[in-house]
C-alpha cells in the first residue's frame, strides 16, 4: 500500500499543485467557518454578560422597591396610633376630665399592643426568671435572698419577634445571699 506522499511524488506536478490548492482552499474555508463560529460565540457571550448585568441591576432596584413598600406598610400600621394620640391631646384641655383622657390613652396603648402582637412581637419575661444572656442584659448584679442568677428587677423590657430577640431586657440579677463577716 502506498502512502499519500508516494502518490503525490508519482503524480504529475500539475495534479499535485491542484490538490494542494484544493486542500489550501478547504483549509481556508474551514478556518473562516471556525472564525465565524468563534465570533458568534463571543457575541453571544457578550450579550449574555450584558443581560446578566441588567438582571443584577433590576434585582437590586426591585429589592429596594420591595424594602421601601415594606417600610411604608410598617408606617401605615402605626399611623392610626399617631392619629388617635394627636386627637387625644387636641381634645384634652386643662379643664377636661383627666380620667377620660387617661382612659383614651389606655385604649391607644391597647391598640398599640395589638399591632405589636399582629407583627409577632411579644415582651420577654424577666422578673423572677433565670438569667438568660441570649434574652437578658445584666446591668447590675445584686446580693439578695433569691437564688443566684435570678432576675430581680427589669429596667427596660426586652422583646421577641417570632421567637427571635429584637431587644434584650435590661435587668438586675441576684448573686445569691451576701456573705457577711462578723466583726468584733
Mean pLDDT by 10 residues, the chain (184 residues): 56 63 80 92 94 94 90 82 79 69 84 86 87 87 86 88 88 77 42
DSSP E strand boundaries for the chain:
121-123, 136-143, 151-156, 159-161, 164-167, 169-176
Q: Tell me, what's the pLDDT at 14?
A: 58
Sign of the four-CA dihedral 49, 52, 54, 60:
negative
**Residue 75 covered by a domain:** yes
**Shared-domain flag, residues 102 and 127:** no
**Residue 183 covered by a domain:** no
**Shared-domain flag, residues 102 and 163:** no
**Shared-domain flag, residues 14 and 94:** yes
Domain containing residue 126: CATH number: 2.30.22.10
> The domain containing residue 47 runs over which residues?
7-119
Q: Tell me, what's the pLDDT at 93?
A: 66
Q: Tell me, what's the pLDDT at 42?
A: 94
DSSP-derived 3-state class of residue 85 = helix
**Residue 2 covered by a domain:** no
DSSP-derived 3-state class of residue 98 = helix
Q: Tell me, what's the pLDDT at 94?
A: 62
Phi, psi for residue 20 in degrees, rounded to 5: -70, -35
Domain count, the chain: 2
pTM > 0.85: yes or no: no
How far apart CA 150 and CA 147 sit, in angstroms, is 6
Q: Tell me, what's the pLDDT at 17?
A: 67
136-143: strand order across its sheet: 136-143, 169-176, 151-156
**Residue 134 covered by a domain:** yes
User: For residue 150, what are the β-bridge partners?
Assistant: 130
Domain containing residue 34: CATH number: 3.90.20
**Residue 35 covered by a domain:** yes
Q: Tell me, what's the pLDDT at 43?
A: 93
Phi, psi for residue 88 in degrees, rounded to 5: -60, -45
Q: Tell me, what's the pLDDT at 15?
A: 65
Amino acid at each position: 500500500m502506498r502512502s499519500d506522499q508516494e502518490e503525490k511524488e508519482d503524480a504529475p506536478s500539475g495534479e499535485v499543485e491542484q490538490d494542494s490548492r484544493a486542500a489550501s482552499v478547504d483549509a481556508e474555508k474551514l478556518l473562516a467557518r471556525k472564525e465565524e463560529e468563534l465570533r458568534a460565540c463571543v457575541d453571544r457571550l457578550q450579550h449574555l454578560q450584558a443581560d446578566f448585568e441588567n438582571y443584577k441591576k433590576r434585582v437590586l432596584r426591585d429589592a429596594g422597591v420591595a424594602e421601601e413598600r415594606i417600610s411604608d406598610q410598617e408606617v401605615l400600621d402605626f399611623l392610626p396610633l399617631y392619629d388617635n394620640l394627636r386627637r387625644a391631646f387636641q381634645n384634652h384641655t386643662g379643664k377636661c376630665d383627666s380620667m377620660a383622657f387617661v382612659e383614651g390613652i389606655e385604649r391607644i396603648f391597647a391598640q398599640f399592643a395589638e399591632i405589636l402582637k399582629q407583627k409577632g412581637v411579644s415582651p420577654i419575661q424577666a422578673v423572677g426568671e433565670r438569667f438568660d444572656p441570649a434574652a437578658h442584659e445584666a446591668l447590675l448584679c445584686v446580693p439578695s435572698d433569691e437564688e443566684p442568677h435570678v432576675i430581680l428587677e427589669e429596667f427596660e423590657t426586652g422583646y421577641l419577634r417570632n421567637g427571635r430577640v429584637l431587644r434584650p431586657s435590661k435587668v438586675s440579677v441576684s448573686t445569691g445571699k451576701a456573705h457577711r463577716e462578723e466583726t468584733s
